[in-house]
Amino acid sequence: MLAEIITIGDEILIGQIVDTNSAWMAQQLNSAGIRVKQISSVSDDREHILQALAEAKKRADIILITGGLGPTKDDITKKTLATYFNVGMIENQEALANVTRIFAKYKRPLLEVNKQQALVPGNCEVINNHNGTAPGMWFNEAGKVYVSMPGVPFEMMYMMEEQVLPKLKNTFKLPFIMHKTILTVGEGESFLAERIADIEDNLPPHIKLAYLPKLGQVRLRLSGYGEQETSLANEVNYYAGLIVDRVSNVVAAEDDIPLEKAVLDKLIAQGKTLSVAESCTGGYLSHLFTQHAGSSQAFLGGAVSYANELKESILGVKNETLWQYGAVSEEMVTEMVQGALSNFKSDYAVAITGIAGPSGGTDEKPVGTVWIAVAGPDNISVKKYTFGNKRKQNIERTAITAMGLLNTLL
């Protein structure tokens, strides 16, 4: 089964809001065995919506629509759907009762414009909205299913989970879809592809491999499609195992989780703690760790020692090291990571110093020069990198690279 998602609203197209609905819906559909063929965003324009529906019909079996169901004049989805199906509008008593109940609950007058929420195209099956006034609508026309839902995210999500997905599963015989993601760090997509080329070439037709690169990391996602859940899972896991064995030196996790979560999980599993000494990343690495619940089980904290004086007073860096080698040097980052281990009493530590840019570089140390050190109970690894001249990317890439080095050490 193929699906298409259409989001309606000028606010999406001008960037006033971010379309999170489509991403969430695509995840839910994929888990249910429905493949999303296309996602489109269209304006609050009758002809634009009609054209989008006509085109979606050619591509997909299921067309899911969100937005444009409010009580104001700019919400035209219902009337446009009635035009598309060439039917009139009728008042649905169940939808009217829902609107009346909600306004009574909050002791607010029920205006005529609110009553119009109960008007729906005559050929639809109403999907009750338990969290708002705009009803959802289910259309089954010429072998295609159209579902129109509110654009308010929480209203759509509850409607989708509680009513739409179960109804889709009952309406269609859906295959099983299984995804297995392997998170790698520190090796580029083309190099990974070369290392596992023979495994990829021998994948059966119903299992596909996708490369999902991001700064400093690549997710390898195996996607399998089949009728038998257990045998499909066994197949996908078998090929995932072959890939993990082949590139084990760069594997951070065998799950679709952020890199920092993978590192935290390893630390927690080993009962170890981590501290940091950040300079050019300005606390970004700490932020990545602490955004995850439970990070305090392993992450102790550290120092954002941007100024040289703080490197000395908090981390115990020697003044002569600063004068002789500079703040961005192998010697400096080594003393920083040793100071973090000693002063913060952690099992592992990460230290970072560099020139994020866009200014501050020299011929000897251009913008993008970064030194990273990771240390544990028995060893220390110190490496120099030269990234680009974009400050934000340098900070992000430095943090990811540091976590990659720590992952290797762990």
Q: Average pLDDT over the chain, rounded to whole? A: 95
Kindly state the tokens that stand for 102.
């909600």
Query: Would you say 285 and 399 are in contact if contact means Cβ atoms under 8 Å apart?
Result: yes
Residues 6+ apart with CB under 8 A from 37: 2, 3, 4, 59, 60
Residue 72 pLDDT greater than 90, yes or no? no
The residue count for the chain: 410
Average of per-residue pLDDT across 155-164? 96
- Supply the pLDDT for residue 122: 96
Residue 315 pLDDT greater than 90, yes or no? yes
Residue 107 pLDDT greater than 90, yes or no? no
Kindly state the tokens that stand for 71.
């009580």
DSSP string computed for 181-233? EEEEESS-HHHHHHHTHHHHHT--TTEEEEEEEETTEEEEEEEEEES-HHHHH
Q: Partners of 110 in the beta sheet?
A: none
Q: 270 or 98: whose pLDDT is higher? A: 270
Picking from 339, 370, 377, the residue whose alpha carbon sits closest to that of residue 352 is 370
- Supply the pLDDT for residue 51: 97
Helix, strand counts (H, E) of the chain: 17, 17
Residues 6+ apart with CB under 8 A from 382: 330, 333, 334, 337, 371, 372, 373
Residue 331 pLDDT greater than 90, yes or no? yes
CB atoms closer than 10 angstroms to residue 309? 12
pTM of this structure: 0.79
- Supply the pLDDT for residue 217: 94
pLDDT band at 106 (very low <50, low <70, confident <90, very high): confident
Q: What is the pLDDT of residues 245-267, one digit of tens each?
A: 999 999 999 999 999 999 999 99
Alpha-carbon gap, residue 47 to 315, rounded angstroms: 65
- Supply the pLDDT for residue 292: 97
Average of per-residue pLDDT across 347-356? 98
Q: Report the share of the chain in percent with pLDDT over 70.
A: 100
- Supply the pLDDT for residue 15: 93
- Supply the pLDDT for residue 322: 95
Side-chain half-sphere of 16: how many Cα atoms within 13 Å?
A: 7
Handedness of CA 337, 342, 343, 344 (dihedral sign): positive
Average of per-residue pLDDT across 301-326? 96
CB atoms closer than 10 angstroms to residue 265? 18
Helices of type H across 106-203: 112-115, 153-159, 165-171, 189-195, 197-201
Kindly state the tokens that stand for 328.
């961005």
Distances (CA, A) of 135 to 25, 254, 317: 18, 41, 65
Query: Would you say 285 and 352 are in contact if contact means Cβ atoms under 8 Å apart?
Result: yes
Residue 108 pLDDT greater than 90, yes or no? no
Alpha-carbon gap, residue 396 to 249, rounded angstroms: 22
pLDDT band at 195 (very low <50, low <70, confident <90, very high): very high
- Supply the pLDDT for residue 29: 96
Q: 74 or 378: whose pLDDT is higher? A: 378
pLDDT band at 116 (very low <50, low <70, confident <90, very high): confident
Domains of the chain: 2-171 (3.40.980.10), 176-253 (3.30.70.2860), 259-409 (3.90.950.20)
Kindly state the tokens that stand for 407.
């992952």
